[in-house]
Chain A
Amino acid sequence: MLHGFLDLCLLAMLREKPDYGYGLAQRLATAGVADVPGGTLYPALLRLEQQGLASPSWGPSESGPRRKYYAITDLGRTELAAQVTGWQRFRDGVDTLVAAGARR
């Protein structure tokens, strides 16, 4: 179900604040959106980086290995705005279908 909207969720979270992969996975899970496996999440992040929608920087962590933090770029904000429009259209469409059946 998340397929197609993962980029949207990632960009939205990065607009709120820069974050690293595992942190983003936890935020997705906490929001109740999905448990996204690493094999799905990390390729998506690399793709956002490659497309210039998110820019990486290496940061330290309190414990353990250094982390790759991603921040949204201007191009990323433009892309996010376009995807939000698409998402709202999709959500409204589903809402209409669901509501139409519930009235009977």
Chain B
Amino acid sequence: MTAWGVRFEDELRRLGVQPGRARQLADETAQQAAECDAAPDSLFGPAHLYARHLLSELTTRTLPLNGPSGPVRLRLTGVGKRYRRRTVFDGVDLTVRGGEVAAIVGANGCGKSTLLRICAGLTRPSSGRVQRTRRVGFVPQDAGTAGWLTADEHFTLFGAAAGMAPRRARSTGEHLAARLAWRPGRKQLTQHLSGGTRQKLNLVLGELHSPDLLLLDEPYQGFDQGTYLDFWHQVRAWREAGRAVVVVTHLLHDLQHVDQVFDLGALR
């Protein structure tokens, strides 16, 4: 098999395709390139991006249009959080499946961010049970990036944590950034980026390893109108690709884009 084919098959497996099926798809792709008398990369583009594209094509149209039916990616059962004697929330039940977008809403201080951190496994709940898929992407409200590193260095670092080779992490990061209309500067340190652009970096880092469940905490602070629309376009693309998405928001007009709304303020 060609080097391209090996990279393609590796990426399919990394995305959770069974080894036998990944091999079969890699063989077929090689055969398709052969019948067109073309090199795979000139016909299909970079191997890992084509792997993602193919998988989303294969999962997209098989989802019924009338609602999500994907596997459960996140389930909260009776989850509560107390700080000393103060109960922040209690009895949260929430199920999010692949191909579904859920919004967590509620007034400031009702614990939206805390709940999202519990979903991510970063904060322990005081009560209840959390079940989640293995591959999770978390995008915090701000921070999460290091001011003295460039965007590329972030891609390499976060990619390494997910077992990605540096070159692939960088090319994936740049590709994802382009979808948010951002072209990272080679030498620009993150501390010199605008707040909105830093949030784009955060978003790219959350998605870099192609997670099954994306947890987003108001990730569009500082976005201009165009980028804000790009962001929701991206959320729709994730949904169509069968990912599960949970987004914390306080903007009510966002809710037209989501499948279910969880009002944390209404619990009390």
- Spell out A's residues near B (CB within 8 Å): 20-22, 25, 37-39, 42-44, 46-47, 50-51, 61, 64-68
> Does the CB pair A43–B35 fall under 8 Å?
no
Q: Choose one: A39, A46, A65; the contact of B35 (CB below 8 Å).
A: A65
Contact B28 A43 (CB under 8 A): no
Give the interface of B toward A (CB within 8 A): 25, 28-29, 31-38, 43-45, 50, 53-54, 57-58, 61-62
Partner of A22, one of B25, B36, B53, B54: B36
Main secondary structure of the interface of A (DSSP, over half): helix
Is there an interface contact between A39 and B50, defined as CB atoms closer than 8 Å? yes
Chain A residues whose CB sits within 8 angstroms of the CB of B34 once the complex forms = 64-65
- Whether B31 and A66, one on each chain, are in contact in the complex, defined by CB atoms closer than 8 angstroms, is yes
Besides A21-B32, A21-B35, A22-B36, 4 more A-B contacts (Cβ < 8 Å) are: A44-B57, A46-B57, A65-B35, A68-B28
How far, in whole Å, are A64 and B36 apart by their CA atoms in the complex? 11
Q: How far is the CA of A38 from the CA of B32 in the complex (A)?
A: 8
A residues near B28, Cβ cutoff 8 Å: 42, 46, 68
Q: Complex formed: what's the CA distance from A82 to B12 in Å?
A: 33
A35 CB to closest chain B CB (Å) equals: 12
Expressed in whole angstroms, the Cα–Cα distance for A64 and B37 within the complex equals 9
Query: Nearest-CB distance from A67 to chain B (Å)?
Result: 6
A46 to B44, CA, bound (A): 15
Known: A20-B35, A22-B36. A39 touches B61 (CB 8 A): no
17 A-B residue pairs with Cβ-Cβ distance under 8 Å, sorted by A, are A25-B36, A38-B43, A39-B45, A39-B50, A42-B54, A43-B53, A43-B54, A43-B58, A46-B25, A46-B28, A46-B58, A47-B58, A64-B35, A64-B37, A65-B31, A65-B34, A66-B31
Contact B53 A38 (CB under 8 A): no
Least Cβ–Cβ distance between B94 and chain A, in angstroms: 31
B35: chain A residues within 8 A (beta carbon): 20-22, 61, 64-65, 67
Could you tell me if A47 and B45 are in contact, using CB atoms closer than 8 angstroms?
A: no
CA distance A21 to B29 in the complex (A): 11
